[in-house]
Amino acid sequence: MTTELQVEETQSSVNTNVPNESFYLDRFKRCVEDRNYVNGRVIDEDYNCEIYKGFAIVTWKQEWQQPNNKTRISFNSYVWEVGGVFDELIHLAWLGQGVISTGHNSTTYEQAIKKMRKRVDLLSEVYAHKAELRALSISYRGRIANANPLYNALIGDVVAIRAFGRTRLGKIVKLVGSRFVVAYMTPSNAQDVHYKTLPLSQIYPKD
């Protein structure tokens, strides 16, 4: 009989309109029900949800019975933005609907959650600029034409980059070694924030 991992109360909120861990956990479980498994038979599964830095991390443990009668355990994780538009959905059409990041095939829960918390650490920095990035995406219609890359850049600078086959305006939100994490959005998508980790040679003046 499948048991549930205890839902960790890592973050509380006075806003009762913001979904809690149980909302994301129950919604995910409903979507999983009655799925057909192809690569072996699932003999046990468990679920956990943690809200961390404004994002819901659902981790799904599966124990598989393989054709050679050995068992295999894997942990897969899915991340949603708390307070995002997909919170309006009581039922998911598919497991990845509205997901902004995933992690697959970890061998322990500790490994899975450590990996996803590290991912969310970056996502929280990127999504913190969502309103500004949205405004930049719908107002900019420029293009890079024989422009020289920047010789110097700082965290917080608005810059031009190439992404999805177009020139985009983005904002430098983090420095990783000698590379810059540039967050940006596209005018056709008002929900998802993207980012690229680029060397200075691929970052251009916004004008």
- Across the chain, what does the average pLDDT equal? 87
What token pair was written down for 90?
Answer: 């009581």
User: What Cα–Cα distance (Å) separates residue 57 from each residue in 85, 111, 119?
Assistant: 16, 13, 11
**pLDDT digit string, tens, across residues 20-51:** 999 999 999 999 885 654 455 777 889 999 99
Residue 120 pLDDT level (bands cut at 50, 70, 90) = very high
**Is 90 exceeded by the pLDDT of residue 71?**
no
Domains and CATH numbers, the chain: 21-127 (no CATH), 130-202 (2.30.30)
Q: Return d(Cα 77, Cα 70) in angstroms, integer.
A: 23
Instruction: State mean pLDDT over 177-202.
Output: 95
What token pair was written down for 2?
Answer: 């499948």
